[in-house]
Amino acid sequence: MNKILLIGRLVRDPEVIKTNEGKMFSKFTIAINNYKGSKEKTVDYVPVITFSKTSEYASKYLKKGMLVSLVGRISTGNYETKDGEKKYYIDVIANEVQILSSASKKEIKEA
C-alpha cells in the first residue's frame, strides 16, 4: 500500500502546467515543521503534484502560506543529467487537498 497524509504550509503559489496533450497539472511545495525536543525545529520541504480536478482546485484556491492537508501517494524516479550524473527524486502525488487555514502576513513570511 502506498498512501500518505501530510499537513504543511505552501511555500509559494501552485505552478500550473499544461501538457502538449492539453491536460493540466499543478506543482507546489509544502513546508512541514518537525520538532526534536522542546527547542530544536527542522523543516522538510515536500514537492507535491496534482492532476485533473485536484489540480483545478489547487490552482484556483491555494495560495502561499496556507496550511493544507493532503492525501496521496509517493512517487519516485530518476534521470540522468547532461554530465551523466544520475539524480533521484521523490514527489507526492496528491489526490485530495484540503485548506485548513488561510495565510496571515506573518505565516507568509515564515513559509
Per-residue pLDDT reduced to its tens digit, 92-110:
999 999 999 876 545 444 4
Record the pTM: 0.81
Looking at per-residue confidence, does 40 or 13 come out higher?
A: 13
Can you give the pLDDT at residue 94?
96
Q: Could you give all domains of the chain from N- to C-terminal order, each with its CATH number? A: 4-104 (2.40.50.140)
Per-residue pLDDT reduced to its tens digit, 69-87:
999 999 999 999 999 999 9
Q: Is the pLDDT of residue 33 over 60?
A: yes
Long-range contacts from 10-16, C-beta under 8 angstroms, 24+ separation: 10/62, 10/63, 10/64, 10/65, 10/66, 10/68, 10/103, 10/111, 11/45, 11/64, 11/111, 12/64, 13/62, 13/63, 13/64, 14/50, 14/58, 14/59, 14/62, 16/55, 16/59
Residue 22, phi-psi category: left (phi > 0), alpha (psi -120 to 50), beta (remainder): left
- The residue type of 72 is G
Q: Is the pLDDT of residue 43 over 60?
A: yes
Q: Is the pLDDT of residue 58 over 80?
A: yes
